């Protein structure tokens, strides 16, 4: 028997989408144990003065309940 | 670096959709800090004896993790 | 045992979305009994001469079969 | 023969969704003529200090090409 | 006034989808009170050596906030 | 030449999803003739006191017009 | 005040999609008055012996309630 | 390097869907240069007195920015 | 490094959805090796004389390329 | 017991959508036996020098495994 | 009061998705002022001779009307 | 006349999404000729011990039938 739970997080970074993903996963693993996986549900850009100020990624994170 | 989390709530009111939204946001802000925004995912009606008994709103609420 | 049926209606009003919803529910309850609920599937505007001439709401209405 | 074009706008107001819709339609009708209709694609809230700071509506606006 | 919250869980069982659903609901009711309902968002199979090793169900579970 | 019509029903049973489906089809065949098929659009659970009180199935039922 | 209802029909013809549409509209207008419009939700083919035996169209038909 | 833009148009004709498409493309190519392609997002019918008065097609048109 | 491929199958049985799933998986594992999993994309019923003649399941089956 | 498989093809023709469909079905029936049906998932246009150069249709084709 | 407009662009680069995104944003900011953000709606690859010839990104770009 | 076929693959890499994409395209081009393009349908992460163990990409790959 196995039960998992899904939370939804949104993370950003000025460097790129994969840096935003690593930020989000680092933060998620501080409050939640046994993360199994994640999937990307949205990728966005924040623009300031015509420049990309931040890359933002919405993720659904799955972790196992013990 | 910024990480946000999303929860999903469902609120209702006999008065209308915007009253239901205000109910839901008041309740959400009691248990969660740093709410940044919300978006409406569904609007429903509960009918009793041919009358609108309640307006119900499903919302996804975003708040910043500190 | 319980069986419900769903019909789809579309109602409009010059006053606003909730007035359109009340129009639709009033009309639906004339021809159908035992309505339990409804959910809003679309909200539209009809524009004439740059003014909002009507607010239109598409709803899916659920009623119990006896 | 009739050809219409669709643009997508996003409008907000501190008062409510229908006020945001009227703001958006007023602004759209300044730059575009012959608007026929619009439909609501998303409804959002901007929250500041636990209060609803703005109601935001994304709309797709249809106008006739002449 | 009524406010509900939605969580998303994923449960599995070697016996079938309804056994997986019962596993998930049992586990969810240990950590969350006042569950009102749930809906099935996805049904999957885990295959090992050409055999169905597990039936997996993703569910969205609704419970009332008090 | 062949024309079919689609209705949407929702049925429930305390025993399981397939029992709910059979309830719905029995009820549908009392008021509608020449049913050709159906497809499952949603599967839900009604929970009372932490127990599954009912399995609910939303179906779209197709029947031939004569 | 204006209220419309939507039904869903499915029609086919061996000649092509527009012939199937005309069949469906003819049949629908026999049982329902005041049809305002329709939109195509699906287009399918029935194949027999490697040949297209029928073109099938699923339509949602809107008519005004009086 | 290549950048394209997408606009959304809606065209109609009393003759059929492909005539509506040709109308839309003719009109679009008067105001926009370098159209590369289009895809059909919706097909609708306008009905008057039980007759098909117009075939309407919603299209998303892609053109290259120079 | 790991690469998987997805095929889509549709299976039916007169006994129920899980019997249809087992039929489909048995048949799929005859022509394809290294199946890892599957997910259910649609559940349908075939009706004859008011009785459920077959339960049909559409599945997407994933297998590892070697 | 019956098991079917689904493949996805994309066909085009300079003449129109139904000609593209016939092209695709002819080609599919050369490599695959026992085709039962197909459904249209997308309709596109290829434009060259402001003219419709090709009508393209994406189809999902179902055939029975023996 | 605030009103924003959304346009849809498609950009490509031989180097990768983020290079394509930067190309698209550079081009968009030449013709449109006050860009606030963008979100990625599709990511595609153009293949030539078995090699990735271009990475293509479809984006929806939001800018404020003044 | 031109007919293309679509297959769906899933590839992963410990390095990042674009490395996973290149793995998948290399593997696909070994068994299939005349690949024209691909589009990304899902991006996932496999997590082990709180670390990103693999980046996974689901792709739909299009190739021309000859």
Nearest to E9 among A1, A4, A60 (CB): A4
Q: List chain A residues with CB under 8 Å of B60.
A: 8
Tell if the CB–CB gap between A47 and K37 is shorter than 8 Å: yes
pLDDT-flagged residues of chain H (< 70): 1, 66
Q: What is the DSSP string of chain K?
A: -EEEEEEEEEEEESS-HHHHHHHHHHHHHHH---EEEEEEEEEEEEEETTEEEEEEEEEEEEEE--
- Angle at CA of residue H37, ends D61 and L63, nearest 5°: 130
Q: List chain K residues with CB under 8 Å of H62.
A: 10
Dihedral (CA of A25, A29, A31, A35) sign: positive
CA K61, CA D61: separation in Å to the nearest integer? 17
Q: What is residue E2's predicted lDDT score, i.e. its pLDDT?
A: 79
Q: List chain A residues with CB under 8 Å of K21.
A: 45, 52
In tens, the pLDDT along E2-56 reads: 799 999 999 999 999 999 999 999 999 988 999 999 999 999 999 999 899 999 9
Q: How many beta-carbon pairs below 8 A join chains G and H?
A: 31
Chain A touched by L49 (CB under 8 Å)? no
Q: What is the DSSP string of G8-27?
A: EEEEEESS-HHHHHHHHHHH
Dihedral (CA of K48, K54, K55, K59) sign: negative
pTM of the predicted model as reported, rounded to 2 decimal places: 0.91
On whether the CB atoms of residues E32 and E7 are closer than 8 A, the answer is: yes
The residues in H 1-20 lying below 8 A from K, measured between CB atoms, are 1-7
Chain A touched by B66 (CB under 8 Å)? no
| Torsions phi, psi for G44 (to 5 deg) | -130, 165
ipTM of the complex: 0.90
Chain C interface mutation, best of B50, B54, B55, B58, highest count of C Cβ atoms under 10 Å: B50
Q: What is residue I1's predicted lDDT score, i.e. its pLDDT?
A: 58
Tell if the CB–CB gap between I37 and E17 is shorter than 8 Å: no
CA F59, CA G9: separation in Å to the nearest integer? 15
- The domain locations on chain D are 4-64
Q: What is residue A31's predicted lDDT score, i.e. its pLDDT?
A: 85
Chain D touched by C52 (CB under 8 Å)? yes
Q: What is residue L1's predicted lDDT score, i.e. its pLDDT?
A: 58
Chain L touched by J35 (CB under 8 Å)? no
The nearest CA of chain C is from the CA of G57 a distance in Å of 20
CA D2, CA G38: separation in Å to the nearest integer? 18
Chain A touched by L44 (CB under 8 Å)? yes
In tens, the pLDDT along K5-42 reads: 999 999 999 999 999 999 999 999 988 999 999 999 99
CA A10, CA A19: separation in Å to the nearest integer? 13
| The pLDDT of residue E66 is above 80 | no
Nearest to H50 among G18, G29, G39 (CB): G29
For residue K40, the tally of other CB atoms under 10 A from its CB is 22
Q: What is residue C1's predicted lDDT score, i.e. its pLDDT?
A: 59
Q: List chain I residues with CB under 8 Å of F18.
A: 16-17
Q: What is the DSSP letter of I1?
A: -
Task: Identify the residue whose tokens are 């070994």.
Answer: L30
CA atoms within 13 A on the CB side of F23: 24
Q: Do chains D and F touch (3 or more CB pairs under 8 A)?
A: no
Q: What is the DSSP string of chain J?
A: -EEEEEEEEEEEESS-HHHHHHHHHHHHHHH---EEEEEEEEEEEEEETTEEEEEEEEEEEEEE--
Summarize chain A as % helix, strand, coil (round to 5). Answer: 25, 60, 15
Q: List chain E residues with CB under 8 Å of A65.
A: 9, 27, 31
The nearest CA of chain L is from the CA of I18 a distance in Å of 25
Which residue does chain D place closest to H61, by CA atoms? D5
The nearest CA of chain L is from the CA of K52 a distance in Å of 8
Q: Which CA distances in Å does E9 have to A40, E64, F49, H48, K9?
A: 18, 17, 19, 50, 37
The nearest CA of chain D is from the CA of K59 a distance in Å of 14
| The pLDDT of residue K1 is above 70 | no
CA C53, CA C36: separation in Å to the nearest integer? 31
CA C29, CA K2: separation in Å to the nearest integer? 40
CA D31, CA H56: separation in Å to the nearest integer? 26
CA J5, CA K25: separation in Å to the nearest integer? 42
SS3 D2: strand
Chain F interface mutation, best of G6, G7, G9, highest count of F Cβ atoms under 10 Å: G9
Q: Which residues pair with A11 in a beta bridge?
A: A57, B3
What's F4-64's CATH class?
A: alpha beta
Q: Which of F21, F19, F14, F65 is nearest to F41 (CA)?
A: F21
Q: List chain D residues with CB under 8 Å of H25.
A: none
Q: What is residue A65's predicted lDDT score, i.e. its pLDDT?
A: 83
Q: What is residue J2's predicted lDDT score, i.e. its pLDDT?
A: 78
Nearest to A47 among K18, K36, K40 (CB): K36
Chain K touched by A47 (CB under 8 Å)? yes
| The pLDDT of residue B65 is above 90 | no
In tens, the pLDDT along J18-43 reads: 999 999 999 999 889 999 999 999 99
Percent of chain F past pLDDT 90, that is, above it, reads: 83
Q: Which CA distances in Å does F9 have to B55, F25, F42, L27?
A: 23, 9, 11, 46
Largest CA distance in chain E: 53
- Angle at CA of residue G51, ends G47 and G57, nearest 5°: 45
CA G48, CA A23: separation in Å to the nearest integer? 56
CA C60, CA B44: separation in Å to the nearest integer? 9
Q: What is residue L12's predicted lDDT score, i.e. its pLDDT?
A: 95
Nearest to B5 among A7, A12, A23 (CB): A7
Report the neighbours of B using a cutoff of 3 or more CB pairs below 8 angstroms. A, C, D, E
For residues L6-34, give the mean pLDDT: 94
On whether the CB atoms of residues A41 and A59 are closer than 8 A, the answer is: yes
CA E66, CA E33: separation in Å to the nearest integer? 9
Q: Do chains C and J touch (3 or more CB pairs under 8 A)?
A: no
SS3 E25: helix
Please, which residues have CB within 8 angstroms of residue E51's CB and are 6 or more apart in sequence?
none
pLDDT-flagged residues of chain I (< 50): none
Please, which residues have CB within 8 angstroms of residue B12's CB and are 6 or more apart in sequence?
B20, B23, B46, B54, B55, B56, B57, E1, E2, E3
| The pLDDT of residue B61 is above 90 | yes
Tell if the CB–CB gap between E9 and A3 is shorter than 8 Å: yes
CA E37, CA K33: separation in Å to the nearest integer? 48
Chain E touched by B23 (CB under 8 Å)? yes
Burial class from Cβ neighbours inside 10 Å (0-12, 13-18, 19+) for residue A15 reads: middle
In tens, the pLDDT along B6-51 reads: 999 999 999 999 999 999 999 999 889 999 999 999 999 999 998 9
| The pLDDT of residue A25 is above 90 | yes
Tell if the CB–CB gap between K39 and A45 is shorter than 8 Å: yes
The one-digit pLDDT tens for each residue of chain G (66 residues) are 578 999 999 999 999 999 999 999 999 998 899 999 999 999 999 999 989 999 999 999 999 986
Q: Pinpoint the alpha helices (H) of D1-66.
A: 17-31
| The pLDDT of residue F1 is above 80 | no
The nearest CA of chain F is from the CA of E33 a distance in Å of 8
Q: What is residue H2's predicted lDDT score, i.e. its pLDDT?
A: 79
pLDDT band at E65 (very low <50, low <70, confident <90, very high): confident
C42: its two tokens: 């679309």
Question: When comparing pLDDT for D30 and K57, which is higher?
Answer: K57
């Amino acid at each position: 028997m196995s039960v998992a739970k899904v939370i939804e997080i949104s993370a950003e970074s000025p460097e790129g989408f994969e840096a935003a993903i690593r930020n989000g996963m680092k933060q998620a693993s501080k409050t939640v144990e046994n993360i199994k996986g994640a999937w990307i549900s949205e990728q966005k850009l924040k623009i300031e003065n015509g420049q990309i100020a931040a890359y933002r990624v919405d993720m659904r994170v799955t972790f196992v309940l013990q």
